[in-house]
Amino acid sequence: MRLVLLGPPGAGKGTQAIRIAQWLQIPHVSTGDLLREHVERGSRLGVRARAYMDRGEYVPDDVVVRMVMDRLEEPDAQKGFILDGFPRTVPQAQALEDALADAGRPLEAVLKFTIDDDMAIKRLSNRWLCPCCKRTYNMEFMRPQDGSSCDDDGCQLTRRSDDDEITVRRRLDVYRLETEPLELFYWERGLLREVDAQARLDLVTERTKEALSDIAS
Ligand code: AP5
């Protein structure tokens, strides 16, 4: 399956993408994770991206589009993929549509996760991550067993530098301005499906699977 996940920061895209990827046995491609890897490595792309990410703004389209297209050419993505956090602008969506049309493998669905701003801020203010395996925790909703380290590998959990409330509010504004227009873009193409993501984790997973039940094999 070739799938895009849309939704504001904190909607649970990354959390659900990991579960859907296991269910469908296809790779989860997160532009946020790819960009953070570049930042950690200190690559040229990472140095350029970091300033935008720290302000809660989008990294320029040309940088992100090239990075995603390279990733989608890897062998594991030939059987399908889940794009989490891409596309986020109409030019990115157009570039993706053109590239997939050229390859004869168009998108099959776009899931839009909905959540209100207060819940997004609450989730992101309490998000902690394992720097080793990238598993996400939440001090309000999904606590690690000992309260501070990863249940799987024992690494000390850390926070994302863009998860403070001021930057989250900026990210929500940027989402509304730049990414919400994609809902119409995909609705016009008959691809958009909505999932109410303001519910407990397992229920959102059930809703996600239900939304894909007619095309999941
Ligand atoms: P990115 O990393 O993609 O951040 P985001 O889109 O803002 O999304 P988040 O990762 O914050 O939220 P999520 O929806 O994945 O939520 P999660 O599952 O973690 O991008 C970061 C930055 O990179 C951007 O700001 C931009 O600068 C740049 N960038 C990335 N892609 C780009 C692009 N295409 N173009 C340009 N720039 C780009 O869940 C959040 C928390 O809630 C977790 O703690 C989780 O445990 C918890 N949680 C999840 N679901 C539930 C639930 N149902 N109940 C209770 N808690 C839950």
26/124 Cα distance (integer angstroms): 26
| Whether residue 32 has its Cβ less than 6 Å from ligand 1 | yes
142/11 Cα distance (integer angstroms): 15
Q: Is 217 a residue whose pLDDT tops 80?
A: no
What does the pLDDT read at residue 117? 96
CA dihedral 158, 141, 56, 185 (to 10 degrees): 140
Query: pLDDT tens digits, residue range 66-108?
Result: 999 999 999 999 999 999 999 999 999 999 999 999 999 999 9
Task: Quote the ligand 1 centre to 43 CA distance (angstroms).
Answer: 22
What does the pLDDT read at residue 134? 84
**Nearest CA owner, ligand 1 atom 9:** 9
Place of tokens 């859907």: 20
Domains detected in the chain: 2-115+175-211 (3.40.50.300)
Task: Quote the ligand 1 centre to 143 CA distance (angstroms).
Answer: 18
What are the tokens at 18? 């990991």
User: 24-59 in b/e burial notation, b at 16+ Cβ within 10 A?
Assistant: bebbbbbbbebbbebbeeeeebbeebbeebeebbbb
| Whether residue 2 has its Cβ less than 6 Å from ligand 1 | no
What's the pTM value of the predicted model, to 2 decimals?
0.95
